[in-house]
Amino acid sequence: MPARRIGFIGLGVMGKPMAKNLMKAGYSLVVWKHINPKPVNELVAAGAQEASSPKQVAEMSDIVITMLPDSPEVEEVILGKNGVLEGSRKGMTIIDMSSISPSAAKKIASEVEKKDVEMLDAPVSGGEPAAIQGTLTIMVGGKETTFDASLGVLQAMGKTITWVGDIGTGQVAKLSNQIMVALNIAALSEAFVLGAKAGINPQILYQAIRTGLAGSNVLEAKLPKILERDFKPGFKIRLHYKDLKNALEAARELNVPLPFTCLLQQILNALINEGKGECDHSAIIAFTERLANVAVRRK
């Protein structure tokens, strides 16, 4: 059975099943009651220990994992008052599995390094189903030796785990992934809205194109939900908006034009203003449906 104690901060849609999979793999878990006490209580009932602050999480752990919404939350939890770094010690490892900006990851890591603490940025892809099944795709930045030492922990949560390079490169890989996913959903939306407006049964259109070059994991995962008008979030529009914001920020720093990403971020902004920010990102189709005055649904 694994001997290392793991602190886990951020028990949301993704974090809670990830933490559960660590416990299933035999790791001792320490959790912190942050915003929503329900998942913390659930994990404590299953055998996890509860800490009173991120500082205490670090004091009780050998590895601390954070899975939080964005850069400011990660900075506050790790670097803030009573934060993880205050409770850390030489030889510990912090693994941030949130999706944040690469520059924030580098900033946090530079502070962590001053205390002789190791850090990886290890954002994930695959959504809630993969988090539950323990089959996440994990993109990791940081020292390769730290990656190698942490691989067993990551394997308890993911299936495809890739060391990308230095700290921050995991976040760049995740942002690249998010650009492709968002634009794929937007392309799917326009294609199926066109088909629906022409009177084609969307289920037939799906069968016609799914095995050709246009077939994709996004098509297989998202179109069935669209047809059922099921926009319960696996990944929320407001979070995808945040990821594209971070992608555009990184692109500005590197002087890389991302015109389609910029346009789609504005579409996501419009959907958020319409009250769809908590919907699954498959609801991107609602924007095109409204323009065309047609709905793509099962017949």
**45 Cβ contact partners less than 8 Å away, ≥ 6 residues apart:** none
CA–CA dist 83, 112 (Å, integer): 11
pLDDT recorded at residue 195:
98
Give pTM, 2 decimals.
0.91
Q: If you count them, how many residues does the chain have?
A: 299
Residue 151 near residue 159, CB atoms below 8 Å: no
DSSP per-residue codes, 104-155? HHHHHHHHHHTTT-EEEE--EESHHHHHHHT-EEEEEES-HHHHHHHHHHHH
> For residue 93, what is the enclosing H or E element?
strand 93-96
CB-neighbour burial class of residue 156 (10 A; exposed 0-12, middle 13-18, buried 19+): middle
To which residue do tokens 């968002």 refer? Answer: 182
- Strand, coil or helix: 269: helix
Residue 206, token pair as written in the block = 């799906």
Catalytic positions, written as ranges: 174
Residues 187-214: b if buried by 16+ CB within 10 A, e if exposed: bbbebbbebbeeeeebeebbeebeeeee
pLDDT recorded at residue 1:
44
Residue 268 near residue 237, CB atoms below 8 Å: yes
Closest CA to 119 of 87, 136, 152, 141: 141
Strands (E), 33-78: 49-51, 63-66
DSSP per-residue codes, 171-236? HHHHHHHHHHHHHHHHHHHHHHHHHHHTT--HHHHHHHHTTSTT--HHHHHHHHHHHTT----SSB
Mind listing the domains of the chain with CATH numbers? 5-167 (3.40.50.720), 172-292 (1.10.1040.10)
CA–CA dist 239, 68 (Å, integer): 11
Q: Which parts of the chain have pLDDT scores under 50?
A: 1
Torsion angle defined by CA atoms of residues 130, 134, 138 and 142, in that order, rounded to the nearest 10 degrees:
150
Backbone angles phi, psi at 213, to 5 degrees: -65, -25
